[in-house]
A and B are shown apart, each in its own frame.
Chain A
């Protein structure tokens, strides 16, 4: 854990730095993957960037709307506006951000007349890269920490030897990236959108497996972990997507 890197008088928040680097790399890769599929790279980059900004702002505005008491008494107006828009981690409603980001992405896809499936394939490795960055940033900040364990690869965090769940996530995303790179060479034989679906399936499977090892895993009801339920939903949706697009019967003469 190294949340702050002190270089002389300069305090660098390492998790933020890793996330920024991951974001930059993810958007660059998505842009290049877009060009490879005949999509304007700038449009891919801009779509990712605008969706991200919409997601961050949406999550923040969601928190303000759901917790008006926190803000309504702040005066004067300049302080109120400053408090509403100040970047304060922990004051987000993620699903509002996801909805807004999806809305902005859908609007831009329509406006720029982009092929959504080719675009999804272009973003598949970008999501894996962001997953690696999130895992490493959590390792540096001490978030998403694991259960106590005596395994030889345990890390010392918050006063105990724990599962390095942050590293498990980063490794799962790295494995996902490796699978995508391998499938990429055979992409012509696959229907558009397949890489994205494979990526979703691997990531959700990883979350299903890693989540029980987390010590700070949020619980939905009766001990059932929230992220496992979401991951199972995504996994089933990704597999159902393959079922939906597969032919009803094997073509004649097929292997």
Chain B
């Protein structure tokens, strides 16, 4: 074991140099950062995992149906207070952004009647699909509600939010996406 201060200073300097070289050699390559090179994952920069679920009207809806326009993918449940709090903001954003972006609600493991009643009570007109088996929430690693994924027109995840969203925030982010 090194004994003197000089020994340790030499070791520290060598570690700093070798560490710096190692960091330089193992830098993330530009190709690794492109979404096309990344497999589907609920992570920023990856293509959003696709799913097909049943909507409230009984039709089958896939996330890929909306490719070509930005999607605000919102995981929620009727029993979750912050989810209820953000519904007016999502509804308002869906009305003002009609044709420019899609708000897609994914209801977690609740019965169609409960969700329908809630949608009617809160005046929700944006599409809501039922994740009764939990397959979509598992694919998106949803650990808390609400969780929202902002997906660009290429189907790439650009931002992930945990917690309630505000309308200004949704508008700002979608505005930035259209400006890209």
Contact = CB atoms under 8 A, between A and B. Distances in A.
Contact of B82 (A82, A142, A250): A82
Interface residues of B, number: 49
Contacts of A73: 89, 166-168
B143 A242 contact: no
Interface in A237-255: 239-240, 242-244, 246-250, 254
A129 to B, nearest CB: 23
Given A13-B143, A239-B8, A242-B8, 6 more contacts: A3-B138, A69-B168, A89-B143, A232-B20, A243-B9, A254-B3
A97 B175 CA distance: 32
Interface of B: 2-9, 11-12, 15-16, 19-20, 22-24, 26-30, 32-33, 38-41, 43, 81-82, 85, 89, 134, 138, 141, 143-144, 147, 160-169
Contacts of B82: 74, 79, 82-83, 86, 88
Contacts of A142: 141
A-B residue pairs, 5 tightest by C-beta? A243-B8, A223-B27, A212-B26, A90-B162, A88-B162
Interface residues of A, number: 54
A90 B160 contact: yes
A229 B23 contact: yes
Nearest to B9: A243
Contacts of A89: 143-144, 162
Nearest to A219: B28
A99 interface: no
Contacts of A86: 82, 144, 163
A211 B19 CA distance: 13
25 contacts: A4-B138, A13-B143, A69-B169, A70-B163, A70-B164, A74-B85, A86-B163, A88-B163, A89-B143, A89-B144, A90-B161, A158-B40, A159-B40, A208-B23, A212-B26, A217-B28, A219-B33, A223-B30, A224-B24, A225-B28, A229-B23, A239-B12, A243-B11, A243-B12, A248-B4
